[in-house]
């Protein structure tokens, strides 16, 4: 999908959030920096602080059985996004009856693309498993572009159940589906019936038996002050028997603690041995890669500041074609876009600097001496 001038007819705007007046819309635009206003035009979110949702039906249902699945598109956050999504969804044919009000609750197959909000900046790669559960990539975050230029995101899923994520055609993540998503129960688990042996010593350090407390160690913390004297006005009948005040004992060393030494019997932290997981079925992960009914492309986004432009959406089973398509679209305009961006920013900075210097100069203009004015105002007169 390259979003030609007449491409609006391919897309269906969702009714989601319309009743609340919180729905945004997509408008065709190449943005502020482009090589060709027509070729580089995509769809842009507008206005600010809205939910944006729409879908398009693909020409035919996509089935990647035995083939690669490539999901690719470009994103440009030219509004300098602070919080909002830039991802796209692949939706199964089974969600056809929910397309009219497509939302975050509509079942999808794959969600892919950048998500930025405050300190959270990463690329989503979410698969829906056979039980309808959205599986997020476990314990891994994928690099995301955060500038105001166009970037191409590519997800490749191979029939050997491996995957790749590319940013501007450069690999930023790869691995195995079974390892990086919790599609299946683990192949091995700790033996629930195992128990720690009685002689298993987990103490890394033990008291040193050769370290003995000195005989003169135990002395009181406080002792009577032997330099104190009975006050002259002390009356034992009225004041009672006088006692010396207490003072800190200079010989007091605190509580004695026996030194520690390495435990020669230390065996480490005990863990139950691993055994084959009875819930894991061999071969159950052979087709994790497979999606047989991908039918729609969907947007379901929230953005605080609008202005993101999406373009050149591609779903294919040809990795080389996807690369060529990206080079012919994004690759043909990225350098021109970057130069226009840099030139514009440089001009803005130069203008701001000139304004600042002008204002500084105005503030430094010297004020005429008031005494001179007063002298000029004096009227000459003859003495009487």
Burial 159-192 (b: 16+ CB within 10 A, else e): bebbbbbbbbeeebbeeebbebbebbeeeeeeee
- List, in sequence order, every residue forming a beta bridge with 157; answer none if it has no partner: 69, 163
**47 cis-preceded (ω within 30 degrees of 0):** yes
* Those residues with Cβ within 8 angstroms of residue 215's Cβ, 6 or more apart along the chain or in another chain: none
Q: Are 195 and 320 in contact (CB under 8 A)?
A: no
Q: What is the rounded CA–CA span in Å between residue 284 and residue 349?
A: 59
59, burial (CB in 10 Å: exposed 0-12, middle 13-18, buried 19+): exposed
Closest-CA residue to 319 (of 150, 117, 171, 138): 171
pLDDT of residue 375: 52
DSSP 266: B
* Those residues with Cβ within 8 angstroms of residue 230's Cβ, 6 or more apart along the chain or in another chain: 242
DSSP 23: B
pLDDT of residue 384: 34
Q: Are 141 and 171 in contact (CB under 8 A)?
A: no
- List, for the chain, all residue ranges whose pLDDT scores fall below the cut of 70: 365-384
* Those residues with Cβ within 8 angstroms of residue 344's Cβ, 6 or more apart along the chain or in another chain: 32, 33
pLDDT of residue 371: 52
Closest-CA residue to 39 (of 339, 315, 337, 341): 337
Measuring CA to CA, how many Å separate 146 from each of 84, 168, 354? 12, 13, 29
Q: How long is the chain?
A: 384
pLDDT of residue 9: 86
DSSP 316: E
Closest-CA residue to 89 (of 128, 118, 40): 128
CB atoms within 10 A of CB 103: 14
Catalogue the E-assigned strands of 98-161: 110-117, 120-128, 134-136, 150-157
Say whether 290 sits in a helix, a strand or coil: coil
Q: Are 135 and 182 in contact (CB under 8 A)?
A: yes
**What's the N-to-C CA distance of the chain in angstroms?**
102
332's torsion region: left (phi>0), alpha (psi -120 to 50) or beta? alpha
pLDDT of residue 87: 96
Q: What pTM did the predictor assign?
A: 0.78
């Amino acid at each position: 999908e390259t979003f030609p001038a007449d491409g609006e007819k391919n897309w269906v705007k969702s009714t989601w959030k319309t009743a609340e007046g919180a729905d945004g819309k997509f408008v065709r635009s190449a943005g502020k920096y482009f090589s060709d206003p027509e070729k580089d035009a995509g769809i842009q979110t507008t206005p600010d602080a809205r939910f944006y949702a729409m879908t398009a039906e693909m020409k035919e249902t996509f089935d990647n059985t035995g083939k690669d699945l490539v999901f690719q598109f470009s994103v440009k956050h030219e509004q300098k996004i602070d919080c909002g999504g830039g991802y796209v969804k692949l939706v199964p044919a089974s969600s056809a009856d929910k397309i009219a009000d497509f939302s975050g609750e509509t079942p999808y197959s794959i969600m892919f693309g950048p998500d930025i909000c405050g300190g959270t900046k990463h690329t989503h790669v979410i698969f829906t498993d056979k039980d309808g559960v959205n599986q997020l990539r476990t314990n891994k975050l994928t690099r995301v572009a955060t500038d105001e230029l166009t970037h191409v995101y590519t997800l490749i899923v191979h029939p050997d159940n491996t995957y790749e994520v590319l940013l501007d055609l450069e690999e930023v993540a790869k691995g195995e589906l079974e390892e990086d998503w919790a599609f299946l129960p683990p192949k091995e688990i700790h033996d629930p019936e195992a128990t720690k042996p009685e002689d298993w010593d987990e103490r890394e350090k033990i008291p040193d038996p050769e370290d003995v407390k000195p005989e003169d160690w135990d002395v009181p913390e406080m002792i009577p002050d032997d330099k104190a004297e009975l006050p002259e006005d002390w009356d034992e009948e009225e004041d009672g028997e006088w006692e010396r005040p207490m003072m800190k004992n200079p010989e007091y060393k605190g509580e004695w603690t026996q030194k520690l030494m390495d435990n020669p019997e230390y065996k480490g932290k005990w863990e139950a041995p691993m055994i084959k997981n009875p819930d894991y079925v061999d071969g159950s992960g052979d087709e994790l890669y497979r999606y047989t009914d991908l039918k729609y492309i969907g947007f379901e986004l929230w953005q605080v500041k609008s202005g993101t432009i999406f373009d050149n959406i591609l779903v294919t089973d040809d990795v080389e074609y996807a690369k060529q398509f990206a080079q012919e679209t994004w690759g043909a305009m990225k350098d021109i876009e970057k130069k226009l961006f840099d030139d514009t920013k440089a001009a803005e900075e130069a203008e701001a600097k000139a304004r600042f210097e002008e204002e500084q100069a105005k503030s430094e203009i010297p004020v005429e001496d008031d005494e001179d004015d007063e002298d000029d105002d004096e009227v000459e007169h003859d003495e009487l």
